[in-house]
Structure 1
Amino acid sequence: MDVFKAIAERRSIRNYKNKEIEDEKLDKILESARIAPSAGNRQEWKFLMVKNQETRDKLVEAAHGQKFVGQAPVTIVACSTESERVMPCGQYAYTVDLSIAVSFMILEATELDLGTCWLGAYDEEKVKEILGIPDEIRVPAMFTLGYPDENPPARPRKDLNDIICYERYE
């Protein structure tokens, strides 16, 4: 197990091969979400796996025309079943919990030689309408999943000294 290797090699993939993902790989990715930690171990989430081409094509529109959403063989939609709970630190629990679970899924996908792209640009209400998600459920994250048909270079990252402080914020 080399988690750092998966972290370092992960890229946002926007071109996918026309190749179905094996059920065993999908199961491992979903299991990564199931066993992810959550505040108070409440596990207030559901994940929708979207494979149907017609539905994925509709999600392209909800994702502001990002065509790779329809090209990837799978889109996973992360849903919060409890969106009002605030942690003592003042943050909504669902944003933290689902970020952890989706990150685990993306790292497992990378380990399995699959590519992903975490979507930040989409109309949540359109996604909910397309997928029949109830009004009270939030959709804080979606990502595409498939075999990469590109190998983008690593993007520049800030130096560690620029992002780390010790003992006090500087």
Structure 2
Amino acid sequence: MELIPEIKNRVTAGSFQDLPIPEDSLDRVLNAGRIAPSAKNRQPWRFIVLKDPEIKEKLKNSAYGDERFSEAPVVIAACTTNIGYRMPNGELSYPMDLSFAISFMMIQAEHENLGSALVTTYREDDVKNLLTIPYSMKVVMMLLIGRVEKPVDKETRLPVNRVIYFDQW
């Protein structure tokens, strides 16, 4: 099994088709995030899965009118339970932990022939209030999933020799 095709083919969805996601596909996407690695295996994530059109419409308003919230059949709010934990190198762990989980979900979505879009532009307080998220938690990012209507243009990647070094810079 080679994962590179899923990684290479994944693009950000610019818009979504009005089609439901099969529940078994959604379950596999969510499970991919659940089993992702985290610092000291703390698993500091909670995922709120949103399908209700009214809630998604309100989220769209919190995301400055991003139409994809209305289009995507599923929105996943990725929250952390562990805002203050720092790794031994001094960095907060939750940005990396949640990034791993969402990345695993995005790759699984691609494997399921679903598109995804990562959203980090929203008013967090509005989202927390709408979804009744406890004050002590943080909404780190949201993932939109569905059948892609229109992908965003594929971004060109830097060549290997510009980003990978061996033994020294």
TM-score higher than 0.5 here?
yes
**Aligned match of 1:87:** 87
Q: Partners of 1:27 and 1:13 in 2: how far apart? A: 20
**Aligned match of 1:148:** 148
TM-score using structure 2 length: 0.95
**Aligned match of 2:54:** 54
TM-score using structure 1 length: 0.95
| Range with greater deviation from structure 2 (119-128 or 73-82) | 119-128
Question: Offset at 1:90?
Answer: 1.5
Which structure carries more strand by proportion? 2
Helix, strand or coil at the partner of 2:13: coil
Q: Partners of 2:99 and 2:81 in 1: how far apart? A: 14
| Range with greater deviation from structure 2 (160-169 or 88-97) | 160-169
Cα gap change, 1:14 to 1:42, in 2 (>3 Å): same
| Equivalent residues, number | 169
Q: Partners of 1:128 and 1:152 in 2: how far apart? A: 28
Contact 2:12–2:151 (8 Å) recurs in 1: no
**Aligned match of 1:118:** 118
Q: Partners of 1:72 and 1:34 in 2: how far apart? A: 21
Q: Partners of 1:152 and 1:122 in 2: how far apart? A: 20
Name structure 2 gaps, 5 residues minimum: none
What do residues 94-149 of structure 1 show as CA deviations (whole Å, max 9, x unaligned)? 11111000000000000000000001211111111111111110111111100111
Question: Offset at 1:166?
Answer: 2.5
User: Is 2:100 aligned against 1:100?
Assistant: yes
Name structure 1 gaps, 5 residues minimum: none
Question: Offset at 1:152?
Answer: 4.6
Contact 2:14–2:151 (8 Å) recurs in 1: no
Letter of the 1:128 counterpart: K
Helix, strand or coil at the partner of 1:162: helix
Q: Aligned-pair RMSD on alpha carbons?
A: 1.2
**Aligned match of 1:127:** 127
**Aligned match of 2:34:** 34
**Aligned match of 1:161:** 161
Q: Partners of 2:65 and 2:168 in 1: how far apart? A: 43
Cα gap change, 1:152 to 1:124, in 2 (>3 Å): closer
